[in-house]
Structure 1
Amino acid sequence: MTSNNIIDYFIKAPAEMNFILFSELSTEFEKCYKLHPDFGNGFFRVFISNGEFIVLNANYKPNYNFEKVSEIQHDYIEISKFNTTSSAYKVGRRNIKKVDAGILCFVNTNKLVHVYCEKNQPVEFTKIILLKEYFDEFLRGRYGNYKDFTTAFKYLARTPSSPELNFIFNQIKSCKAKGLSQKIYLESKILEILSIVTHDQAEKWEKEHIAVRLTKTDKRLLVKCEKYLRDNIGEFSGLDKLAHLAKMSNSRFLLAFRQYFGTTPYQYLKDLRMNAALTLLLDTDDSITSIAEVLGYKNSGHFSGIFKNYYGMTPGEYRRYHYVK
């Protein structure tokens, strides 16, 4: 499917993906769809705000493997939070890349994009799509010379473990407002995200960009270390183990990791744990003590203190707030 406008694309895309409009739950700004029962089950929600931004919420399980091919000739930025790992994508002639759980940033390059989903596997995500017009007209009109965001989004693409962004995406996902109040709420969350991404993260990346020459092999091994941290989130094997995986000395590994990911290995692991805590608190009925143990904290009080430092509330308060909302 080729389109010159991202809004037109998402007006047509649900039907092409075998979703049926659910009028009873749709509003002026948001269209709600259900997957046709012959093709699977689940929902797809599309919120469009006056050609400025689009918010997508989806949670579905297809009965068949499917591939969606698109080419959109429109400048936009997409920031997503995936809760599942069952999909993959390919841009242009690049290799297929599996989508990991967490934050994903995509800057459209007007190239052919292939999206793949596995049959009988859940696909769950929340996406924010910001049009170029939103930056050029709305933001600059309100705030003047709006800072260029290229460096910041490069940082975000490489450092997808921001607990602050995960927290905001969870708020967007659980928003119950409708109509104008929903539009105001979502825009406030988008501005909150942009304040983090286009300023704080960009400056942090620039300040911590220590000059270490990294080869392609170095980068591949650093990604391997990051995956090891994700796969062993409940433990921290220590600097020696990680440096060995990266085939570097301890001192060089610390510098290289900080340059590539913008933070230390321990802080990165702590961010991963706090991201996972949000999901476990919302998607399971496990006790806070059990969640703390799974994430590598022997003392639930220590876990609760770190959680509150990140999010401004205790794990119990966060869980109760979600259920109330």
Structure 2
Amino acid sequence: MPSRTLGDPASGSALRVSALGLGCMGMSEFYGPSNERESLATIAAFCDAGGTLLDTADMYGPFTNEQLVGRAVAQRREQVVVATKVGIRRRPDGSRSVDGRPEHVRAACEASLRRLGVEHVDLYYQHRVDPDVPVEETWGALADLVRAGHVRHLGISEAAPETLRRAHAVHPVTAVQTEWSLWSRDVEVDGVLATARELGVGVVPYSPLGRGFLSGALRDRAALASDDFRRSDPRLQDGRLPSNLRLVEQVQALAAELDATAAQVALAWLLAQGPDVVPIPGTRRAGRLAENLAAVDVVLGTDLLARLDRTLPVGADVGDRYADMSPLRR
């Protein structure tokens, strides 16, 4: 597995990780029933293949995903880079709220360390920006965690360009996590990508396969489990799904020319966007993992990259990324 650097060595924020990370969220919830034994085997296979970056969050489960990752890395802690997040609180009734208060950051970090069974978090993200708490206050608390040795590097998720600048002024940002794929290219035009590169911040695309859509396996929303959150994805609703499926079919046609899968081409396209890009495709199955990891060997020439840009330009997808876009890009 090749490696890449997130962050800027000159600022002390550089973090070396595998070119592809592993998103662990779906191993605990959101995508229907999962199997813990299968999930642990998938994480082990990822690490055995040279993968190092494991991505989780306290709100996944809630809490149980960190526990799962903790069990998976217990015997190979020095081999992996553990990334987790703070800032989204889950209530017993299923509702959520954003919390960037310094006291919550401190308490949440302590709890994450305990659940993960580690002495420090390698990369700690502010999961969402709290509109009621200045980002400088949140990042002041995060910086304190770095100074105390509880956290090594800091990141931020779904931050607007000016928010990214403000956070970076408090403490160097190693990575900004944001949705980015051939199906979701807003980051290329809304200033987030440009600002990250100006500041020397690495980019970690989540949902790099469009929540599985770009693999071509998802063609009917009715086939999803009743508790699969994609049932509410605006882009999968009946009035929009046919248009979006045509985009996937075009990716599949291009992939066939390379004897690759659509998922591999989608990941290879992201990897080709720059050495500061580290996608974190999520899967809980070893077979799908092997397919994803093979994307590092898929070479997209200049012509094919240009064809992909013409086929799926910015704004080609039909529908918003979330049913409620209000918590994003603050």
Same fold per TM (> 0.5)?
A: no
Q: Which has the larger radius of gyration?
A: 1
Scaled by the length of structure 1, the TM-score of the pair is 0.29
Scaled by the length of structure 2, the TM-score of the pair is 0.29
RCO greater where, 1 or 2, for CA within 8 Å and sep 6 or more?
2
Relative to total residues, which structure has the larger strand share, 1 or 2?
1
